[in-house]
Amino acid sequence: MSESSWWSAFWLGNPFQFSSAGENLSSYEHNGVHLNDGDGEFIDMSFLTGADSPGDGRSVVSCDITGDGMPELLVRQVGGGSLIVYENRFPKANWLRVSLRGTKSNRQGIGSKVVCEVEGRTIRRELYPATNFQSQSPALVELGLGDAKKIETLKISWPSGIELELDDLPINSHIEIEESGAFRIVND
C-alpha cells in the first residue's frame, strides 16, 4: 500500500460514527469523576455520577449554566454523540465566584493565582481556562465554601507580580476584582 493510500484508509471513517460502528480511539478507556474528600484522598464517583462512559472523551468544561453558584460539567466525546451536560446536584452550599480585571496584567487576569482562607480551610485556584481540547471554561474562579459564612482572606497573585489581599468579601456572590484592589458585585 502506498503512503498516500495508507493515510487515506486511516482517515476514511467518520469519527462521529465510531461508536455505532463499534470503534473506539481510546481502547474503551472510561471517563472518570473523583471527589476530593478534603483529607488528601479522592473518592471514585464515576459510576454514581453517570460519567463512567467509554465514549472517547476529548474535553470537559466547568460552567454554572443553572445560575445557582454550583458549576455543571459539559463533556464532549468523539464517539459519545451530542454534548453531555452533568447537572450539579450536590447539596446546596455557599460559594464565591470571582472575575478578575487586569490593568497591568492581561484584561481577564489569566494566569493569576488565588488563595482563599475560609474557616480553617485553604482553597487554591489558578485562573487558566484554556485547558481543554478545542474548548475552554469561562475565565472565572469558582470557590466552593461549604457551610462557611465568612471568608478570612482572598489573596491574588497577578501575572504582573502585584499581590492583593482582600477580606470581608460577600459570599454567594459573583464579584469582579480589579488589579487595583477595587471590587464590585456582578449581577449575572
Residues near Ca ion (CB under 5 A) are 64, 66, 68, 70, 88
Pairing of strands 173-178, 121-126: unpaired
- Residue 122 φ/ψ, nearest 5 degrees: -115, 120
Q: How far is the CB of 140 from Ca ion (least distance, A)?
A: 13
Report which secondary-structure segment, H or E, holds 48.
helix 46-49
Q: How far is the CB of 88 from Ca ion (least distance, A)?
A: 5
Of the candidates 58, 52, 151, 47, the residue with the CA atom closest to the CA atom of residue 98: 151
Q: Which is nearer to Ca ion, 85 or 185 (CB)?
A: 85
Report the residue number whose CB is nearest to Ca ion. 66
Q: Which is nearer to Ca ion, 73 or 166 (CB)?
A: 73
Q: How far is the CB of 141 from Ca ion (least distance, A)?
A: 16
Of the candidates 119, 127, 128, the residue with the CA atom closest to the CA atom of residue 94: 119
